[in-house]
Amino acid sequence: MAELIVAKTGKAGRLTLNRPDQLNALTHGMALGIEAALLEWKDDPEVALVVIDAAPGRAFGAGGDIKAMWAHGSKGDFAFSRGFWTDEYRMNSVISNYPKPVVTVVDGIVMGGGVGVASHASHRVASEKTLLAMPETGIGLLPDVGGTWILANAPGRFGEYLGLTGTRIGVADAILTGFTDSYVPSADLAALIATLEETGDVSAVAKAAKDPKTAVEPAVAPFLESIRAEIESIFDCTTPMAILEDLKASDSAWAQDAAKAIARACPLSVACTLIGVRDTRDMDSLEEALAHELRFTWRSQEIGELNEGVRAQLIDKDRDPKWKWPRLEDVWPDRAMAMFAPLGDNELKL
């Protein structure tokens, strides 16, 4: 079974993520396949636009194929993951800069690598079934695939909150924070795709879009606006230690949940996510952010935190990672900042 279905239907180039049993976790081959198809269709007069969706199931894409990275990294092979990330980030950039409309259609879980496919397109559609998160700090990574770029450009301090905690949000808050553009009910998606294929006219997206506040039984109800003032205050703190202390001191249930999430996460990842989001606010492009992210991910496996996080969460599933640096104080700021040192000849070139 092809893990990426590539086709031309009517006036549309069609890409369908097709690993439903693995929640469409993105493999290296899928990333390369998406890029190759987009480059092939770039000058194809028969392709007016591109539609990217996923096979029927629970997920659009629940991350990258992190188990494959672990399998290589646990044997001391770091080249596999480094090649994967380099090619994946290039694919993210190709989507972002594509000269034709790219419509991504999310109808379920979207995290990590799935966000990298869905959230850099020109026209981003999501249904009420959308459940979005960037949970990388829990496994020793940081929000990559351009995640720091989206988080940095989210209103206020939502980026710090979502990035450090990996909190899950639904369609309305995904629109609020800039991960997607348009809410289209799940029941209407097939008709929208058929119209795009038939007409090649991307204005069909705007015509199909509805007010996200009207979504019936969303996977996650909107909540960010209701806690925005407290998020602004707490996540404006200079250090991750101060953020954690203020969360613990709050009487709010959301803050207690956030404190627990940060306490469970990899301290190095938490510190680097804070640096990554804030540094990216001064950047001018997705490509700068991707290059900055690669500096971290390039080093993440060799230092051991990524392998340990994946082992604890996905392989042994004991949920008890033994981090090399178990306290935020152990990594802030010098060790965290060192993760973003230039890579020399290995810098991302886009």
Q: How confident is the model at residue 208 (pLDDT cuts 50, 70, 90)?
A: very high
pLDDT, tens only, 10-55: 999 999 999 999 999 999 999 999 999 999 999 999 999 999 999 9
- Please pick, among 65, 88, 144, 197, the residue that the annotation labels catalytic: 144
Does position 62 have pLDDT exceeding 90, yes or no? yes
- Please pick, among 136, 246, 293, 308, the residue that the annotation labels catalytic: 136
- Please pick, among 13, 61, 63, 64, the residue that the annotation labels catalytic: 64
Q: Tell me what the mean pLDDT of segment 92-104 comes to.
A: 99
φ, ψ at 119 (rounded to 5°): -100, 5
φ, ψ at 71 (rounded to 5°): -60, -40
Does position 321 have pLDDT exceeding 90, yes or no? yes
pLDDT, tens only, 106-131: 999 999 999 999 999 999 999 999 99
pLDDT, tens only, 256-290: 999 999 999 999 999 999 999 999 999 999 999 99
On whether the CB atoms of residues 163 and 148 are closer than 8 A, the answer is: yes
| pLDDT at residue 315, as a whole number | 97
Does position 1 have pLDDT exceeding 90, yes or no? no
Does position 101 have pLDDT exceeding 90, yes or no? yes
- Please pick, among 108, 113, 116, 146, the residue that the annotation labels catalytic: 113
pTM of this prediction? 0.98
Residue % of the chain over a pLDDT of 90: 100
Does position 296 have pLDDT exceeding 90, yes or no? yes
59-61: strand order across its sheet: 59-61, 109-111, 131-133
Q: What's the CA angle centered on 309, arms 319 and 66, to 5 degrees?
A: 115
Active site residue 144: yes
In the chain, where the domains are located? 4-346
Active site residue 136: yes
Per-chain mean pLDDT for the chain: 98
| pLDDT at residue 160, as a whole number | 99
DSSP 46-81: T-SEEEEEE-SSSEEE--B-HHHHHHHHTTT--HHH
pLDDT, tens only, 132-154: 999 999 999 999 999 999 999 99
Does position 157 have pLDDT exceeding 90, yes or no? yes
Q: Tell me what the mean pLDDT of segment 334-346 comes to.
A: 99
Active site residue 113: yes
| Range 4-346: architecture per CATH | Alpha-Beta Complex (3.90)
Distance between CA atoms of residues 130 and 187, nearest Å: 13
| pLDDT at residue 123, as a whole number | 99
On whether the CB atoms of residues 65 and 25 are closer than 8 A, the answer is: yes
